[in-house]
Structure 1
């Protein structure tokens, strides 16, 4: 490895062509980074400093041909590309303003082109294929197709705008750019490992995404011809499945869900790349086959995320998923869609499974069950699917969920649905829209509709409303105002406002003129009060049960999926030999604090200890004669223990789970012990 001090004009002024390899990420700097660079350049001029360091550029030189050198950029393409765009913008301004003091031809001939080369070899900087065309067109001054999207174009426009403002003269700008200092780092192929260097850049604060590192891992090791083939025919089509504006973020999310689906567990956000590398090494798949597998699942992922499907029913279900933000189900649904492709299930069964997933998430939201465990439920769900009895096994899985993972049955769902505040749920408009369009052959567009309270929200009701509601009008308004029976949709919310029920019925655009099925019961009434709200709520509840169905299986079908553990012994606190009045008192206090960590915490009395679980055990309590011994389920190196009360029991035989041991022998230590337990609990809650 050799390093040289240089400036941007010296760096671009030779005969070298700088090539961004296919495995590199696309050009990703946004306006914020460009604005910072512009500010640095202007400040460099105004303060009359001799130079400003903008970072290093790491390259590997290829064999020279015809006197020129081809350099592969390992790091620094963002800076190099941005400075090139600034020079193109300055050149174009100079070409249009001949007396500005800058020679546009000099910029083109010395900094943008190798003028004695032909074809693509003549360009000083050659980007990856997704950005290459945009940069070449700007350098050549060629027309830009309206369909071409690239940050190259966005940032060129930014610099053109800044130059046009006249904050700094073009000649001063040209001089200031020449003062930008870089460190030119040239790697030695014989001694330096480009892949290791590329990966290390991420650990030193460079903003590389997991998808950047994964692309590098897969493509860098291929020979040039295979690399080009895999990139053009598999990898680039995968990237193009995702939205241009948020491509890197969505790809990172996809890879985490892809690994979750493959591994049956959720990788930590900061471990996705390492987990992928391990998965690849263990899978034994050739890189081409793995990339093709990634493309197949990315197609399903992007179809769901962007609501794309030729199947009208699936497309409607994808819209539901987007409306209620159920990305947590993506890992499981990736597997189900792939199994449909493999003809393990029919398209009808795929629809029903997706519908059940929507129902599961929506019913839990209505019943206000904490969502903390949903991602883990869907992550492990594939492990309970029987390929020879696919749909029934999915239904059985949902039916047999209990405690904090429960799929609310009709009784619980409707009891809550009829009485809870639906209006202040962020899914309120979705709920009303689905009730309107359920089993409706002529789907109603909700675009211009807003939520209407039939009994108005104004606490100062008119005399007409007070009379209609009766002597307890204030309590009735408070109790039913935001419930489903009092909510509907209208395009005339502002017109209706606090009007009486009769006025809302008959005004222009009122309920009688509405074609909405939501208003069918309303227009049959002459007055509106408690009984009407309850009756309409009951009717909508029946529709809700069909809109978001509960899975059904006969007892005999379900029996084969029930765990046969009836013969297992049942334990209580009194089952432990060491239990006495003192440690029982300690346990009861500790138990109260642990159970208060969340409504989804479960406690199980085991033969040797008491287990507390969220998704799995986070602390196990062993009853000892004069104290309680706690096994905390986390790595000892990760525990924050300012009081020094924890003991490392890694690889030491103990009852319970985890590498951390702590004791509770008096109530004085309860607070400190809970501080340790909460860490393990939060780790299970972390995404």
Structure 2
């Protein structure tokens, strides 16, 4: 591992490419981050002294050079800063086109692209797949789609620069001087890893304690660690990306949180008891214990994540009968039973139980929850029940899964008991179903 202080100019000069690996999340800086960087630049610009602003480390892994002379680097840490600075340069280039076309061309050819290269080798910075198309269009200034964080960052800096050009602006902007400040007075520590260093594990250690990554991010990273590098693009495009996009559709900006919950329930379906903060750690342990093929394991994880999506977002369930049940469970917040429901859904999809049997099982689960709710029984004991219920059910299964499930639930004792009809009637007659808090 080698570390050295460098400027943004030195980092970009020459035929280089900084490629964001698949195991990093898409570009995520927002307006607060952009404002902070802009304020720091304006301080340097206004002060007029030869000061510098330290941006932090850029961690890269040098890869074998290409036959046509490109020096590629895998960008392990620092993609947010490097991508943002590049988008700022693109905004500056586009403003320079109106005033000084030669300076604009110099900026484009020396610091944004590798001139005379083709395809992906053309770009000095290449974001991860989710952002790549947007970024390429902005660099080439062609068919720019005006949406997404990449475009928003570019647009933010372009507006800031344009505002300083107006006669009303307090600061008189010299674009050539501004370019020099960005390229020469923003400093970074460039850390280059050796071939023997594992980029996935280093990225994990850099980010895990600061918790900018979700458990879902870490699991994704771990899968790519297990898959041969030459298969990364295929695995990403055929497995991970479709799953991610489906969760984005229903959960929008919180899709990684929902994926994390899906993985949590996936681990609990086999009777494991764990906190959400332990998902990655336990997943890693279980995967290494089972010694499964990585792609087969990923396929199963995705399969159960899809079940979770249909159960938790009933509008995505195609079968109207199941969608009706899932809506009722979600309305009543019966997420505690998800480990059982996920397994039953799997049995249904594998045709081990019929739709009618699945519905009857859901009916028993709903009855159990509602009876306890009406009887005022605490729900804190139910996590343990549903964590192991399917595992115990499989051990006692004797042909009719629904009857076996009913008998097991009726046999629950003490704090986990299924209230009988007499208890239910008594609670309805004698207990308040709600509390009037208007006079509290």
- Structure 2 length normalisation: TM-score? 0.85
CA distance in 1, matches of 2:337, 2:321: 18
**CA apart distance, 1:415:** 4.5
Among 397, 405, 417, the residue aligned to 2:416: 405
Shift in CA distance, 389/126, structure 1 to aligned 2, threshold 3 Å: same
Shift in CA distance, 164/410, structure 1 to aligned 2, threshold 3 Å: farther
CA distance in 2, matches of 1:361, 1:159: 54
Aligned counterpart, 2:357: 349
Q: Does 1:201 align with 2:206?
A: yes
Shift in CA distance, 225/403, structure 1 to aligned 2, threshold 3 Å: same
CA distance in 2, matches of 1:380, 1:4: 53
Aligned counterpart, 1:120: 120
CA contact (8 A) 1:16 1:68 kept: yes
For structure 1, which runs of at least 5 residues remain unmatched after alignment?
A: 426-456, 460-477, 479-687
CA distance in 2, matches of 1:126, 1:205: 25
2:269 is paired with a residue whose SS is helix
Shift in CA distance, 101/139, structure 1 to aligned 2, threshold 3 Å: closer
CA contact (8 A) 2:70 2:121 kept: no
1:60 is paired with a residue whose SS is strand
CA contact (8 A) 1:101 1:170 kept: no
Shift in CA distance, 144/409, structure 1 to aligned 2, threshold 3 Å: farther
Shift in CA distance, 182/366, structure 1 to aligned 2, threshold 3 Å: farther
**CA apart distance, 1:322:** 2.6
CA contact (8 A) 1:58 1:184 kept: yes
CA distance in 2, matches of 1:132, 1:323: 39
CA distance in 2, matches of 1:351, 1:31: 48
**CA apart distance, 1:406:** 3.2
Aligned counterpart, 1:62: 63
1:241 is paired with a residue whose SS is helix
Aligned counterpart, 1:110: 110
CA distance in 2, matches of 1:76, 1:217: 20
Residues 266-306 of structure 1: per-residue CA shift (max 9 Å, x gap)? 32233221211111111121111011111111111112222
Shift in CA distance, 38/372, structure 1 to aligned 2, threshold 3 Å: farther
**CA apart distance, 1:165:** 4.7
Shift in CA distance, 396/198, structure 1 to aligned 2, threshold 3 Å: same
Residues 497-540 of structure 1: per-residue CA shift (max 9 Å, x gap)? xxxxxxxxxxxxxxxxxxxxxxxxxxxxxxxxxxxxxxxxxxxx
99-108 or 63-72, which deviates more? 99-108
Aligned counterpart, 2:9: 9
Residues 541-564 of structure 1: per-residue CA shift (max 9 Å, x gap)? xxxxxxxxxxxxxxxxxxxxxxxx
Residues 573-614 of structure 1: per-residue CA shift (max 9 Å, x gap)? xxxxxxxxxxxxxxxxxxxxxxxxxxxxxxxxxxxxxxxxxx
Aligned counterpart, 2:380: 372
**CA apart distance, 1:104:** 3.5
CA contact (8 A) 2:227 2:295 kept: no
Aligned counterpart, 1:669: none
The structure, 1 or 2, with the larger RCO (C-alpha pairs under 8 Å, 6+ apart) is: 2
Aligned counterpart, 1:151: 149
Shift in CA distance, 70/343, structure 1 to aligned 2, threshold 3 Å: same
CA contact (8 A) 2:3 2:192 kept: yes
**CA apart distance, 1:63:** 1.5
Listed as ranges, the matches of 1:321-332 within 5 Å are: 321-332=329-340
CA contact (8 A) 2:134 2:150 kept: yes
Aligned counterpart, 1:73: 75
Aligned counterpart, 2:20: 20
Shift in CA distance, 2/39, structure 1 to aligned 2, threshold 3 Å: same
Alpha-carbon RMSD: 3.0
Aligned counterpart, 1:389: 400
Q: Tell which structure's C-alpha radius of gyration is larger.
A: 1
CA distance in 2, matches of 1:164, 1:372: 58
Greater helix fraction, Structure 1 or Structure 2 = 2
For structure 2, which runs of at least 5 residues remain unmatched after alignment?
A: none
- Structure 1 length normalisation: TM-score? 0.56
Aligned counterpart, 2:278: 271
Aligned counterpart, 1:187: 193
CA distance in 1, matches of 2:181, 2:390: 59
